[in-house]
C-alpha cells in the first residue's frame, strides 16, 4: 500500500510537555477512528527534549486533507491539540521511497 506520511515538528517548553502529551493522547482516539489514518506516533527528541515529531501515515494526501480534515473525526482531534498549533515548526507530507527494510535489532523479537 502506498501511503502519505505527514511529519509535524513541534517545540514545546518543558513546563508544557506533560499537557502536550496528554492532549495528543486525547486526540489519538480521533486518529484511530479515522478510516484515512493508517497509524501514528508521537516521539520526543532525546538530545533536545523540547522537540517533538508527530508521524501520521495517511492512505493518501487527499484522504488526509479532504477526508479527515473535512470529516467527522477532525473536530475532536483539533479541539484536543488546538493550544499547540502555534508551536508547530514544520508540517509536511512525504511519500515513502523504496529504501526501506528491517535492521538487525528486528531479529531479536
Query: What tens digit of pLDDT does each residue of 67-83 get?
Result: 999 999 999 999 999 99
What's the angle, vertex CA 34, arms to CA 38 and CA 77, rounded to 5? 110
Q: What is the rounded CA–CA span in Å between residue 50 and residue 95?
A: 27
Q: Would you say residue 1 has pLDDT above 80?
A: no
pTM: 0.92
Q: Listing from the earlier edge strand, what are the strands of the sheet with 4-11?
A: 37-44, 51-58, 4-11, 88-95
The pLDDT score that the predictor gives to residue 2 is 75
The pLDDT score that the predictor gives to residue 107 is 80
CB 6 within 8 A of CB 64: yes
Which three-class secondary structure state does DSSP give residue 11?
Answer: strand
The pLDDT score that the predictor gives to residue 86 is 97
Q: Would you say residue 9 has pLDDT above 90?
A: yes
Condensed to tens digits (0 to 9), the pLDDT of residues 49-106 reads: 999 999 999 999 999 999 999 999 999 999 999 999 999 999 999 999 989 899 998 7
Amino acid at each position: 500500500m502506498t501511503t502519505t506520511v505527514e511529519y509535524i515538528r513541534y517545540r514545546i517548553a518543558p513546563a508544557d510537555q506533560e499537557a502536550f502529551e496528554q492532549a495528543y493522547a486525547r486526540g489519538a482516539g480521533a486518529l484511530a477512528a479515522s478510516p484515512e489514518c493508517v497509524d501514528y506516533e508521537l516521539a520526543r527528541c532525546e538530545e533536545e527534549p523540547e522537540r517533538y515529531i508527530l508521524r501520521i501515515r495517511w492512505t493518501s494526501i487527499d484522504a488526509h486533507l479532504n477526508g479527515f480534515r473535512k470529516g467527522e473525526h477532525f473536530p475532536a482531534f483539533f479541539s484536543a491539540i488546538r493550544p499547540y498549533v502555534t508551536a508547530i515548526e514544520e508540517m509536511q507530507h512525504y511519500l515513502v521511497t523504496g529504501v526501506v527494510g528491517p535492521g538487525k535489532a528486528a531479529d531479536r523479537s
